[in-house]
């Protein structure tokens, strides 16, 4: 399956919150849908879920108009949507049958996923008696209850400790390997990097960056280098570089133990290395810069406008 969003726009009154965004994601892969609070992520997800319609643009599945009711969609919202005063088992059975499973299928799937999430012992407990992390695992079990072919996860790691996070990571990877189509929204960029081959970054309702994450990283690091010294502190080395190498480079960022420099010309790397050696800079590391997704996100969506 291939899900495509094309030139999607949405207004609430006179306020346009989506300004013609476009992205795509295929089965067996995950898309990281990223943005600061208020960027338009939740609005986009709700349109995909058919909670409300976009004002213009199209959503296609394999080239045809996407009809959500024709697919099993597993949705994990950022805010918990289960019933705190109902037992875990009875509400999962109810939700499974509500989504088209027989009572037998719903019960079998419930037991399978509660066991997989290591919360089977809480089947007959009221949800509100569980810890925040275990409630999140129950909610993920609910998300996967109907064997969805489309999975939408909004901040799935909220409230999870490292052990429970690993369980969830394993489950998400399994779903991708089994050919599910996954849309993953989170502010925790390390998780997005772990799962997602493709990303789409929204900022104030605009799509500011999309594409293959590996290619995006390569492009962002194309004219940057990383330098660290065994003897000189980064601040000291930064001043020296500005004084001695201003014709070749500019210091872009001084970090805890290294400096990010920007080459003024793509071919300057050998010249920079030669000059550093001539100036007896005791280098610990000199090489290409690969930005983290967090670096890219801050650069593309970090304005305060």
- Which stretches within the chain are classed as H helix? 41-48, 88-98, 103-116, 132-144, 162-177, 189-195, 213-220, 234-244, 269-278, 293-301
Q: Is the same domain home to 234 and 272?
A: yes
Residue 183 placed within a domain: yes
Q: Given a cut of 50, is residue 305 above it in pLDDT?
A: no
Q: Is the same domain home to 200 and 257?
A: no
pTM recorded for the entire structure:
0.85
State both tokens at 249: 């480079």
Q: How confident is the model at residue 289 (pLDDT cuts 50, 70, 90)?
A: confident
> Distance between alpha carbon 66 and the CA centroid of its chain, in Å?
23
Residue 202 placed within a domain: yes
The tally of domains found in the chain comes to: 2
Tell me the per-residue pLDDT of 164-185, one tens digit each, with 9 for 90 and over.
899 989 999 999 999 999 999 9
Q: Is the same domain home to 154 and 8?
A: yes
The Cβ of residue 33 has, within 10 Å, a number of other Cβ atoms equal to 31
Q: Is the same domain home to 113 and 234?
A: no
Give the integer Cα–Cα distance in Å for 77 and 86.
Answer: 19
Q: Is the same domain home to 48 and 174?
A: yes
Q: What are phi and psi of 70, to 5 degrees?
A: -85, 0
Q: Is the same domain home to 159 and 49?
A: yes
Tell me the per-residue pLDDT of 44-55, one tens digit each, with 9 for 90 and over.
999 999 898 999
CATH code at 166? Answer: 3.40.50.300
Q: Is the same domain home to 98 and 239?
A: no
Rounded (10°) angle between helices 88-98 and 132-144: 30
- Percent of the chain's residues with pLDDT above 70: 98
Residue 184 placed within a domain: yes
SS3 (DSSP) at 101: coil
Q: Is the same domain home to 14 and 162?
A: yes
Question: Domain span at residue 226?
Answer: 222-289
Residue 62 placed within a domain: yes
CATH code at 263? Answer: 3.30.70
């Amino acid at each position: 399956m291939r899900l495509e969003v094309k030139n999607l726009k949405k207004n609430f009154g006179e306020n346009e919150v989506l300004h013609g965004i476009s992205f795509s994601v295929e089965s067996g892969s995950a898309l990281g849908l990223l943005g600061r609070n208020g960027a338009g992520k939740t609005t986009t997800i709700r349109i995909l879920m058919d909670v409300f319609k976009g004002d213009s643009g199209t959503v296609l599945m394999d080239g045809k108009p996407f009809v959500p009711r024709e697919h099993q969609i597993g949705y994990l919202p950022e805010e918990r949507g289960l019933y705190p005063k109902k037992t875990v088992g009875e509400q999962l059975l109810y939700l499974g049958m509500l989504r088209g499973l027989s009572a037998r299928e719903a019960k079998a799937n419930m037991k399978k996923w509660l066991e997989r999430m290591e919360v089977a012992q809480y089947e007959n407990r009221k949800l509100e008696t569980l810890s925040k992390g275990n409630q999140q695992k129950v909610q993920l079990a609910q998300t996967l209850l109907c064997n969805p072919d489309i999975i939408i996860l909004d901040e799935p790691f909220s409230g999870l400790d490292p052990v429970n996070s690993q369980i969830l990571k394993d489950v998400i990877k399994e779903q991708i390997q089994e050919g599910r189509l996954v849309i993953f929204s989170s502010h925790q960029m390390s998780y997005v990097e772990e799962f997602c081959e493709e990303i789409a970054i929204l900022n104030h309702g605009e799509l500011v960056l999309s594409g293959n994450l590996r290619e995006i990283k390569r492009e962002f690091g194309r004219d940057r280098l990383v330098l660290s010294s065994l003897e000189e502190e980064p601040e000291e080395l930064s001043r020296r570089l500005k004084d001695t190498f201003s014709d070749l480079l500019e210091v872009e960022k001084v970090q805890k133990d290294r400096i990010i420099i920007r080459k003024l010309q793509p071919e300057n790397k050998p010249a920079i290395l030669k000059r550093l050696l001539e100036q007896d800079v005791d280098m610990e590391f000199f090489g290409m810069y690969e930005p983290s997704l967090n670096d890219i996100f801050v650069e593309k969506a970090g304005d305060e406008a």
